[in-house]
Amino acid sequence: MRPKRAHALTLDSQRLNFAAGASRVFLAVAALTVIPALYPSVAQLRPVIYGYLGVALVAQVLIWLGRGGWWRPLLGGFADCAILTLLLHHVGSASSFLVTFYAFGAVLNTLVVGKRMGLTMSIVATAMYGTLLSLESSGVIPYAPGAPDWISKTAPSPAMLVPLVGLTGLTTIVSSMIVGGLVARIRAEERELERANRRLTDLSVRDPLTGSRSGTSSARRCRRRGPGAGRSRRRT
C-alpha cells in the first residue's frame, strides 16, 4: 500500500499560516453577515466581498498545498488592505471602528510571516488610508456614501489629515515593530535552547574516560580484537 502524500499542514509553521489565513475568511463572512447589521448599505458591496471571499479561499488552498511562497502573503495583505479601505470609505473613514483592523492585519502578518512583511503591510495600510482621507477631504470622492444616519457625513478637514493618518500609521507600524521584536527574541532563545540540547546530548553519549563517543570507542575496540576474540575467550 502506497503511503499517503502529506500535505503542507504537517508542519507547525504551515498550520499557523492556515489558522491566520482563516481570519481573512472570517472577515469576508463578517462583511457579508455581521457588518451589514450595523451598516445596512454595505449589502451593496456584496459582489466585491464575494470576490474577496474567493481570494481568501484560494489563499487557503495554496497554504494547504504549501505553494505561493513570499507572494502569497504579500498579495493577500494587499487584498486585505484594499477591502478594508473600501469598507471604510463606504461607512466613514474617520468615524468607523473598522480602522483598527489595519493594526490587526499588520500584527498578524508579523506573527505568521515575519517582521518585514508586517512592516510592509503597515506602510501599505497607512498609505491607502492616507490616500482615502486625502481624496475625501479634497472632495474628489464623497465621504461615507453608505453611512447610516447616526454617523456624521462631514468629511475631515485638511487640518485633520495629519492627526488621523499619523495616529493610524503610528499605531499600526509601532504595533508591528513591537510584536516583531518579541517574536525575534523568542526565536533566538529557541535556537539557543536547541544548541544547548544538542550539546547535552553529545556529552551524554561520550565515554567519561576517553572523552570519545561511547558507541564509537566500543566499536573500535571490537575491531581491534578481531572476529575471533570472543570465541577464544569462551574456549578458555
The amino acid occupying position 27 is L
pLDDT at 121: 93
Note the pTM of the prediction, 2 decimals.
Answer: 0.75
Look at residue 218 and tell me if it is in a domain: no
What are the distances in angstroms from CA 39 to CA 25, 32, 106, 215?
20, 11, 25, 72
Q: What is the domain extent for residue 101?
A: 8-189
Three-state SS annotation for 191-209: HHHHHHHHHHHHHHCECCC
For residue 48, being part of any structural domain is answered with: yes
Question: Which pLDDT value is given to residue 211?
Answer: 57
How many independent structural domains does the chain possess?
1
Decide if 215 is inside a domain.
no
* pLDDT tier at 18, thresholds 50, 70, 90: confident
Contact 105, 81 (CB under 8 A): yes
Q: Is residue 224 part of a domain?
A: no
Q: What is d(CA 184, CA 95) in angstroms, rounded to the nearest whole number?
A: 35
Domain membership flag for residue 227: no
Amino acid found at 189: E
